[in-house]
Amino acid sequence: MIIDELKYKILQQFGFPPTQEQAHALEVFAEFLTDRDPHAVMILRGSAGTGKTTLSGAIVRTLKEIHQKVMLLAPTGRAAKVFSLNSGSPAYTIHRRIYREKSFSGVEGQFNLNDNLYTDTLFMVDEASMIANMGLGGMSFGSGCLLDDLVHFVYQGRNDRLLLIGDKAQLPPVGEEESPALHAAMLEGYGLKVYECDLNEVLRQSEESGILYNATMIRQMITHDDITQLPKIHFAGYSDIKPMPGAELIEALADSYHHVGLDDTIVVTRSNKRANIFNQGVRNMVLDREEELSQGDILMIVKNNYYWMEEERKKIKEKEIEERRVKSEGTELGTATHKVPSSNLQVQSNLTVQCSKFKVQRSQVQSNDIPTFLANGDRAKVLKVRRRIDLYGFRFATLLLQFPDYDNYELEATVLLDTLTSEAPALPHEQQEQLFHQIEEDYLDIPLKADRMKAIRQDQFFNALQVKFAYAVTCHKAQGGQWAHVYVDQGYMTDDMLNPDYIHWLYTAFTRATEMLYLVNWPETQTAQG
């Protein structure tokens, strides 16, 4: 009876009759949620156009309606924003919720797994294909294996459980052939009881889209055999997918920026080197920017950073203290106003207006979901370039930034300019150590090492944001995000590039677009005839 009622409520939120696969997914979810086994976990796999996003949103709205506690998570800030928009509820990055800072001893901080204080909570994780488990990112976060840590965190809570949602056809985490979080055998290895289901049927309205038609065709080509066919893309009869000759790219990008905006247009390419070429071309030829960094530029954070949000929280606390002080003074003044001559009422009125303004400012701060940290992959718009400085053998700038994925939150921070056009994903470890030791020399007068490390930890240049231009990004950086207009540059294809990884790459790149997909310099050998 409980299962039937739950399915009925979800279907009400769903809004239209489900397909057979969707109905089966609802059945599996209802059984999973009502299972008394404390170690139950569910995997919901769904490819583009199968209704996975719609179904997930209906589940979230239903859980809120029946007062079931739910926590929405995603691997990146962009993915969390998309999940939040699709579900109508706040979503957070996984790192933000499950880790806390432990210590600082040099180049890298250390983050321990948090204690799970949630009870009776369903953790829903979207874009689960991105969750790695090989420890390639080092040991800065917990065990270094994100999936291990996520499972441990969730199931140490009382009556908590995990729902993993993702598309197994997308790019797996770096260094892994498949996405471990979407494989039942992997989760069974943790001693969990696994529920799983797949959505493969592309809906009729999806078949009318050239983006989804071709994405589905590419997904069907994914195998792990040695022989992989060359995908041939269908353009004829579709208005949402077009080949884009290189000679027309500048004009097309300018048109996209005008109609959907800089933040909803992206170039997806194969490497950081090609991304740099596109970024410089966009800035110079489309946006007419000659400075190394200018107001209006779009940047991407390329390394997790906790420092600047800690500083923001300190400022908010100071504002709250000031508000209480002003409110207290205003109350004292108000108590005495019934005896104050009318000539002095304007003074009180002005003070009331000031207090009111301050309250508005505070409510604005509170309404924004201030992130615990700035995550690798977060995008920011440059509102102002305040100063530039060469120091410690590196180049820095102080910027006022706006973060579109965090309700346009504004933050003033120091950024490292050396990473802007680097072919490396972020500042290499050797250069990070060089920066650390250069800064350490400024604090050698502090005798105790612990105190010295604490001082370096609070240094704005050591904590400078590492950023790149974000007009063009690699497919790994784009994964988890969606943009209205996507331009895909696969570069020159060689025979050795035709492998399963390429098919995953192409499918992921195609499914980043929600309105228009442009294939840049697409070869005739990869174009379907007729």
* pLDDT value at 453 more than 80: yes
CB 480 within 8 A of CB 94: no
Q: How many residues are recorded in the chain?
A: 530
Helix, strand, coil percentages (3-state) for the chain, rounded to 5, are 45, 20, 35
Residue 228: which pLDDT band, with cuts at 50, 70 and 90?
A: confident
- Lowest mean per-residue pLDDT among 336-340, 476-480, 481-485: 336-340
Residue 336: which pLDDT band, with cuts at 50, 70 and 90?
A: low
Domain ranges of the chain: 2-201, 205-296+471-526, 308-367
* Structure-derived torsion over alpha carbons of residues 295, 297, 298, 304, reported in degrees to the nearest 10: -70
pLDDT at 506: 95
* pLDDT value at 57 more than 60: yes
What does pLDDT average to over the chain? 86
pLDDT at 280: 94
Average the pLDDT over 83-111 and give the result.
77
Strands in 286-336 per DSSP E: 298-301
Residue type, 425: P
By three-state DSSP, how is residue 411 classified? strand
pLDDT at 303: 86
pLDDT at 404: 85
Average the pLDDT over 21-38 and give the result.
95
* pLDDT value at 78 more than 70: yes
* pLDDT value at 227 more than 70: no
pLDDT at 307: 86
Identify the bridge partners of residue 412 per DSSP, sorted by sequence position. Answer: 400
Question: For residue 80, what are the contacts with CB-CB under 8 A and spacing of at least 6?
Answer: 72, 73, 74, 91, 92, 93, 126, 405
Q: What is the pLDDT of residues 157-203, one digit of tens each?
A: 999 999 999 999 999 887 788 899 999 999 999 999 999 999 998 88
Q: Which of 208, 204, 217, 227 is nearest to 507 (CA)?
A: 217
CATH code, 205-296+471-526: 3.40.50.300
pLDDT at 362: 37
By three-state DSSP, how is residue 132 classified? coil
Return the CATH superfamily for domain 2-201.
P-loop containing nucleotide triphosphate hydrolases (3.40.50.300)
Question: For residue 302, what are the contacts with CB-CB under 8 A and spacing of at least 6?
Answer: 376, 377, 419, 425, 426, 466, 467, 468
Question: For residue 218, what are the contacts with CB-CB under 8 A and spacing of at least 6?
Answer: 169, 231, 503, 506, 507, 510
More confident residue, 368 or 53: 53
C-alpha span between 116 and 170 (Å, rounded): 30
Residue % of the chain over a pLDDT of 90: 58
Average the pLDDT over 126-134 and give the result.
91
Q: Which of 165, 159, 231, 175 is nearest to 198 (CA)?
A: 165
C-alpha span between 364 and 283 (Å, rounded): 33
Residue 317: which pLDDT band, with cuts at 50, 70 and 90?
A: confident
* pLDDT value at 32 more than 70: yes
pLDDT at 334: 61
Identify the bridge partners of residue 391 per DSSP, sorted by sequence position. Answer: 394
C-alpha span between 181 and 367 (Å, rounded): 33
CB 401 within 8 A of CB 293: no
pLDDT at 2: 83
* pLDDT value at 265 more than 90: yes
Q: How far is CA 159 from CA 41, 230, 246, 371, in A?
A: 12, 48, 55, 27
Q: Which two tokens stand for residue 511?
A: 């499914």
* pLDDT value at 341 more than 90: no
pLDDT at 356: 39
C-alpha span between 243 and 236 (Å, rounded): 11
* pLDDT value at 523 more than 60: yes
pLDDT at 335: 57
Ramachandran quadrant class, 479 (left: phi over 0; alpha: psi -120 to 50; beta: rest): beta
* pLDDT value at 285 more than 50: yes
pLDDT at 205: 62
Instruction: Report DSSP state, residue 158.
Output: B
Q: What is the pLDDT of residues 419-445, one digit of tens each?
A: 998 888 889 989 999 999 999 999 999
Q: Which two tokens stand for residue 472?
A: 């063009």
3-state secondary structure 24-79: HHHHHHHHHHHCCCCCEEEEEEECCCCCHHHHHHHHHHHHHHCCCEEEEEECCHHH
Question: For residue 437, what are the contacts with CB-CB under 8 A and spacing of at least 6?
Answer: none
pLDDT at 206: 64
pLDDT at 24: 95
